[in-house]
Amino acid sequence: MSDTRVYLFDSTLRDGAQTHGVDFSAPDKAAIAQALDVLGIDYIEGGWPGANPTDDALFADPPPLKRSRLCAFGMTRRSGRSADNDPGLRALVQAEAPVAVLVGKSWDFQCRVALGVEPDENRRMIAESLAFMAREKAEVMYDAEHFFDGYKANPAYATACVAAALEAGARWAVLCDTNGGALPHEVGEIVAALVAQGIPGDRLGIHCHNDTDNAVASSLAAVRAGCRQVQGTINGLGERCGNANLISVIPNLVLKMGYDVGLKPDGLAQLTEVSRTLDERLNRAPNPHAPYVGESAFAHKGGLHVSAVEKDPRCYEHIDPALVGNRRQILVSDQAGRSNVLARLREIGLDVDPNAPQVARVVDEVKLREFKGYAYDGAGASFELLARRLLHRVPDYFRLTSFRVIDERRWNARGELITLSEATIKAVIGDEHHMTVAEGNGPVNALDAALRKVLLPVYPQLADLRLVDYKVRILTPEAATAAVTRVMIESADSAGNRWTTVGVSPNVIDASYNALHDSITYKLFSAGVAAATHGADATAAE
Amino acid sequence: MSDTRVYLFDSTLRDGAQTHGVDFSAPDKAAIAQALDVLGIDYIEGGWPGANPTDDALFADPPPLKRSRLCAFGMTRRSGRSADNDPGLRALVQAEAPVAVLVGKSWDFQCRVALGVEPDENRRMIAESLAFMAREKAEVMYDAEHFFDGYKANPAYATACVAAALEAGARWAVLCDTNGGALPHEVGEIVAALVAQGIPGDRLGIHCHNDTDNAVASSLAAVRAGCRQVQGTINGLGERCGNANLISVIPNLVLKMGYDVGLKPDGLAQLTEVSRTLDERLNRAPNPHAPYVGESAFAHKGGLHVSAVEKDPRCYEHIDPALVGNRRQILVSDQAGRSNVLARLREIGLDVDPNAPQVARVVDEVKLREFKGYAYDGAGASFELLARRLLHRVPDYFRLTSFRVIDERRWNARGELITLSEATIKAVIGDEHHMTVAEGNGPVNALDAALRKVLLPVYPQLADLRLVDYKVRILTPEAATAAVTRVMIESADSAGNRWTTVGVSPNVIDASYNALHDSITYKLFSAGVAAATHGADATAAE
């Protein structure tokens, strides 16, 4: 084994499944395991056989993996029982997985208080369970729970537990900071102390939690001190504050520290996709600020930054975003000038002569609108439509000639509270005039429902358009009656696209309509849909 | 200065304002600065005078600060110009702030490529600008931009820039990892090298970004190596992946490393509230997994964990959550909720017997309502009304029997866009029935106007009530049609009181009305106003 080879162990499906609000189905687990296999992760911990039906289903019929080794998790034998007579260990033996991971205590205080077991018996439980399982599986590991707290309290005992597991046949002993309270320098010093005592680093793993915001740093410190296996989860899933985020650990190890983590040649460049796909599967909005893979991770705002990045990316980028499958993003904002707008135009594929008068028109229009309260920084789709309208053309898919929304709250004859929103709209699509009415749970929802009622028959592409977030802000709160309202709407479709649009008006319903109009237009325009009739092919004036 | 005193420098209002999607108003900035002052942060960087109207407004009329020193940010003088003739430096001099922070290059590559300036001239720019500003301000600092990249490329030049600033009179030279690419061990080694060369650690600051997911760890590494000033932002706001999160840095330094960061005695216990209040102000959902302060940071899921935690919290908690103002969350027990509610009741001056059955009623009602989507954390006035209604009485100042709001958007005969909101309400005040209609710029504004029309003659105390902020959030965005809407309204009066109320309903107008009702009731109740007639003195059922 080369000294720079670090093994990766993914626990998204086991420790990550403890995340509050996360609930993997068996097909979810199979799909995620296969994505990790394609990436080239060494070990995939699938779950805990016997703990729940999902994990039983996974280990009864595991997904085919080409490269990764599937691991089943369990506990060391119970106190006062032999290993080959322990129901938990038997469930592990029967699980269709080449690797078994056995968790056990390594903190004497924990043995006594949480388990009610004497430390000597705990050490026998570790040794006998690992020895038994080593005869049954291709590979076994020992998860040393609470290792760092245990080491601080009683270094000799914690070290003895690790040594017992390795002597009994464990391929790896994994040092777990279960409560997440250890700091990186402590982790580094303790690992170095173990290695100095003769425990080989290439049989030690590290498993950190993020309770001090240091899970990634502690994992790196352990590797620098000798550990050659790193455990973590995709996007840092995990209970409380999460586990070490492998999506951050991997590029740090490979690009900055020169380690080989065994990924396939194109594995690194898939990180952004793997991260976002997991979020999609869990119905979570990806964190735009995530290191390496977030949408904003390589975003540039200030005009000065932007012009410097264009001179030489090293000026403001710590790595080439393409290495992890991400891309540079130029933001438009009132702090930005011409260079931001130009870079943003190139990004959306509008190649224009920097000196063309239309560019000045876009810059002026963005400034004017941001002064009025628009925020194009967070609403890329509205910026793109604005720019395309000024530079070229955007089809006018529909035009609303009027709307009226009625909201009521009253008590009916039986004394029940009735709240009702009803929208009546008049719209022109192509050459046809439409009038319709719809209800919703609130005025914007009613307006949206009425729009869909007239638009869907003409534009079936809108069937999977969903509004996933709706935010309202009053921009001049101190000028009460003259206040302007900004509405941001985030939309999504079934292909996983997400886009944000903005509307501004003194009237919140009108601002919402403006953002809604942009959202629908963006969806149709991106899908290459033509406007309903050629007679309506005018540039939208809005 | 004691060797364990570390100074805190908050850049939420300057570097944090670069966050994609964040847009502070001048009142936002003043309110955040005052919250940081109450906490006891040493330095608050307010912004960049001359860069935009918001920052100009802040420095023309800065909020009164008792403890923190307000800092104004700017650049070293331009090349080829004298410091006292530089318009940027002049704007800084005029800014009402005792501290000036001047950013300059310390990477020779950057001088040439981004700035087009020879390294020697850059060093003169640093020295002359700092010397000039040191004569004008109580304190000056030098932000050494790209310091770590610069040091790796040319250690002698980077060190010379830092030394030049300190010799010219800078109280601090702040080592900035501008691109965020340095790892904690590199930061630690480079700081140690500077200190070994004789640059005193108590004149060095550290400024990290989170691009490798290590901003907190790198900040701690710098302190261990000697730096005695740490820069960061609340909740890790900042461009790209954010700045070092002070909410994580502070408890790590104080609780785990034994440093004194100069907070007020109860400052540490306010961290959770400060973190969540900033999110509320920015209309962002707080991150439940945030280290130390997240809602899930001390959550225990399984029964095993829970019983072990109850035997001894050290089994599964790295610190006592109360130290940072957070609380344990045990999903199978209401213990945590109870003590929180009791603490809040004491806070608003309702001294109740902890074992009284009414306390259990308040706990149950809060839990039920938070399950439905209410958020009492950010809406103290609504919590107080709820508790007072359950424990004592709150006058029923008015009752709305029904309302109807109509919003229209149409073009008039002259082709002008007309948007109109009109609210019709029926209300009972005392024994009298009222019906009225009013217009507004949006449905909530119209409803508010109609309410005032009937209430003001009876309750003239409402004349100075203003709605200063209005925020809407969809709580179950993935369940589009079943979505519940939460409205938070911040109100103020001419005496400088501010209070926040919350309303929840599937219908946004109804949710707004609920929050409005609480806001008006709170204002009247706080002013000691009696309900219009004694016949109406029933507990409000809402």
pLDDT (tens digit per residue) in A218-247: 999 999 999 999 999 999 999 999 999 999
**What pLDDT does B1 receive?**
46
pLDDT in tens, A503-520: 998 888 889 999 999 999
Helix (H, G, I), strand (E, B) or coil at B302: coil
Residue B349 at interface with chain A, using a CB cutoff of 8 Å: no
- The pLDDT, as a whole number, for residue B337 is 59
Task: Label residue A317 by pLDDT band (50, 70, 90).
Answer: very high
Which residue on chain A is closest to B211 by alpha carbon? A291
pLDDT at B301: 59
Dump pLDDT digits (tens) for A410-422: 888 787 888 889 9
Q: Are B262 and B7 in contact (CB under 8 A)?
A: yes
Task: Report whether pLDDT(A336) > 70.
Answer: no
Nearest CB to B471 within list A19, A319, A472: A472
d(CA A166, CA A321): 41
pLDDT of residue B372: 74
Chain A residues touching B421 at Cβ < 8 A: 507, 509
What is the rounded distance in angstroms from the CA atom of residue B205 to the CA atom of residue B200? 11
Cβ atoms within 10 Å, residue A417? 11
The nearest CA of chain B is from the CA of A347 a distance in Å of: 17
CB contact under 8 A, A239 and B301: yes
Nearest residue in A to B22, CA atom:
A378
Sheet holding B399-411, edge to edge: A432-440, A417-429, A399-411, B399-411, B417-429, B432-440
Does residue B461 register a pLDDT over 90? yes
Work out whether the CA dihedral A431, A435, A440, A444 comes out positive or negative: positive
Identify which of B216, B318, B480 has the shortest CB distance to residue A180.
B318
Percent share of chain B, pLDDT over 90: 61
- A160: part of which helix (H) or strand (E)? helix A155-167
Give Cβ neighbours of residue A455 (< 8 Å, ≥ 6 apart): A397, A398, A427, A429, A462, A520
pLDDT at B114: 79
pLDDT level of residue A444 (50, 70, 90 thresholds) = confident
Given a cut of 60, whether residue B532 has pLDDT beyond it is yes
Query: Inter-chain contact B21–A114, Cβ cutoff 8 Å?
Result: no
Q: Which residues of B touch A507 (CB under 8 A)?
A: 407, 409, 419-421, 441-442
Report chain B's mean pLDDT, rounded to a whole number.
88
**Beta-sheet pairing, B204-207 with B229-232:** parallel
Q: Using a CB–CB cutoff of 8 Å, tell me whether B433 touches chain A.
A: no
Q: For residue A443, give the nearest of B314, B443, B473 by CB distance.
A: B443
Give the pLDDT band of residue B468 (cuts 50, 70, 90): confident
CB spacing of B442 vs A212 below 8 angstroms: no
**A181/B318 CB distance under 8 A:** yes
- Find chain A residues with C-beta within 8 A of B279's C-beta: none
Of A242, A400, A485, the CB nearest to B289: A242
Residue B50 pLDDT class (50, 70, 90 cuts): confident
Q: Which ranges of B246-356 does DSSP label H, i.e. alpha helix? A: 246-251, 271-281, 303-311, 335-347
Which of B:281-320 have CB within 8 Å of A? 283, 288-292, 294, 296-299, 301, 308, 311-312, 314-319
Max distance between CA atoms of chain B, in angstroms, equals 84
Candidates B117, B240, B447: best to mutate against A (most CBs of A within 10 A) is B240
Asked whether the beta carbons of A73 and A48 are under 8 A apart, the reply is yes
In the predicted model, is pLDDT for residue B236 greater than 60?
yes
Greater pLDDT, B225 or B370: B225
Nearest to B291 among A241, A302, A375 (CB): A241
Digit-coded pLDDT (tens) for B434-458: 999 999 888 888 999 999 999 999 9
Select from B299, B401, B513 the Cβ nearest to the Cβ of A20: B299
In A82-196, beta strands by DSSP E? 99-105, 139-145, 172-176
| From A371-385, B156-170, B449-463, the region with the lowest mean pLDDT | A371-385
| Percent with pLDDT over 70 in chain B | 92
Share above pLDDT 70 across residues of chain A, in percent, rounded to a whole number: 93
- Residues 39-98 on A with a CB inside 8 Å of B are none
**Interface check A382 vs B, CB under 8 A:** no
Interface check for B498 against chain A (CB to CB < 8 A): the answer is no
Q: In this model, does residue B392 exceed pLDDT 90?
A: no
B181 touches chain A (CB under 8 A): yes
* Per-residue pLDDT, B143: 98
Chain A residues near residue B450 by CB distance under 8 angstroms:
none
Instruction: Look at residue B377 in the predicted model and tell me its pLDDT.
Output: 67
Q: What is the pLDDT of residue A480?
A: 42
Mean pLDDT throughout B161-178?
A: 98
Which residues does chain A have within 8 Å of residue B483's beta carbon, measured at their own beta carbons? 441, 445
* Closest chain B residue to the Cα of A493, Cα to Cα: B478
Which chain A residues are closer than 8 Å to B185 by Cβ? Answer: 220-221, 224
Contact partners, residue B280, CB within 8 Å, separation at least 6: B286, B378, B471, B488, B500
Interface contact A109, partner B, CB < 8 A:
yes
- Residues A442, B292: C-beta atoms closer than 8 Å: no
Give the one of A114, A335, A468 whose C-beta lies nearest to B478's C-beta: A468
Which residue in chain A has the smallest CA separation from B400?
Answer: A410
**Residues of chain A contacting residue B471, judged by C-beta atoms under 8 Å apart:** 471-473
> pLDDT at residue A101 above 80?
yes
CA distances from residue B389 to A196, B394, B518 in whole angstroms, order as listed? 65, 5, 12
From the list B217, B240, B402, which residue is nearest A184 (CB)? B217
Contact A474 B470 (CB under 8 A): yes
Residue of B nearest to A219 (CA): B214
Question: Counting beta carbons within 10 angstroms of the beta carbon of residue B351, is it exposed (0 to 12), middle (13 to 18) or buried (19 or more)?
Answer: exposed
Q: Mean pLDDT check: name the lowest of A99-103, A477-481, B313-317.
A: A477-481
Spatial separation of the C-alpha atoms in residues B287 and B295, rounded to whole Å: 8
Per the CB < 8 Å rule, is B184 touching A217? yes
> Does the pLDDT of residue B28 top 50, yes or no?
yes
- The answer to whether the CB of B130 falls within 8 A of the CB of B168 is yes
Q: How far is the alpha carbon of B349 from chain A, nearest alpha carbon, in Å?
A: 30
Whether B507 and A302 lie within 8 Å, measured CB to CB: no
CB atoms within 10 A of CB A123: 21
Chain A residues in contact with B485 (beta carbon < 8 A): 441-442
- In this prediction, residue A208 has a pLDDT band, given cuts at 50, 70 and 90, of very high
**3-state DSSP helix/strand/coil % of chain B, to nearest 5:** 45, 20, 35
Judged by CB atoms closer than 8 Å, whether chains meet at A218 and B217 is answered as: yes
Residue B452: per-residue pLDDT: 93
Provide the 8-state DSSP code for B5.
B
For chain A, domains (ranges, CATH) are 7-264 (3.20.20.70), 299-375 (no CATH)
- For residue B370, give Cα distances in angstroms to B278, B338, B342: 20, 14, 16
For the cut 90, the answer to whether the pLDDT of residue A366 exceeds it is no
B221 touches chain A (CB under 8 A): yes
Of the partner residues B181, B242, B252, the one whose CB lies closest to the CB of residue A289: B242
Q: Are A196 and A228 in contact (CB under 8 A)?
A: no
Quick one: pLDDT band at residue A364, thresholds 50, 70, 90?
A: confident
Contact A122, A107 (CB under 8 A): no
The model's pLDDT over B53-69, given as tens digits with 9 standing for 90+, comes to 889 989 999 999 999 99
Residues from chain B that touch A114, judged by Cβ atoms under 8 A, are 308, 311-312, 315
> Per the structure block, which two tokens stand in for A6?
């670090």
Is residue A455 pLDDT above 80, yes or no?
A: yes
User: What is the per-residue pLDDT across B320-375, written as a single tens digit (0 to 9) for each?
Assistant: 999 999 988 754 333 445 666 777 787 788 878 878 888 888 888 887 787 677 87
pLDDT for A367 equals: 76
pLDDT at B455: 95
Q: Do B240 and A421 touch (CB under 8 A)?
A: no
Given A184, A288, A507, which is nearest B419 (Cβ)? A507
User: What percentage of chain A has pLDDT greater than the value 90?
Assistant: 61
Contact (CB<8Å) A409/B312:
no
- Interchain proximity A302–B406, CB inside 8 Å: no
Mean pLDDT score, A21-35: 83
Residue A311: per-residue pLDDT: 75
Q: Which residue has the higher pLDDT, B328 or A535?
A: B328
B468 at the A interface (CB within 8 A)? yes
Highest mean pLDDT among A153-157, B371-375, B471-475: A153-157
Closest residue, chain B, to A178 (C-alpha):
B316
**By the CB < 8 Å criterion, does B275 face chain A?**
no
pLDDT band per the 50, 70, 90 thresholds, residue A409: confident
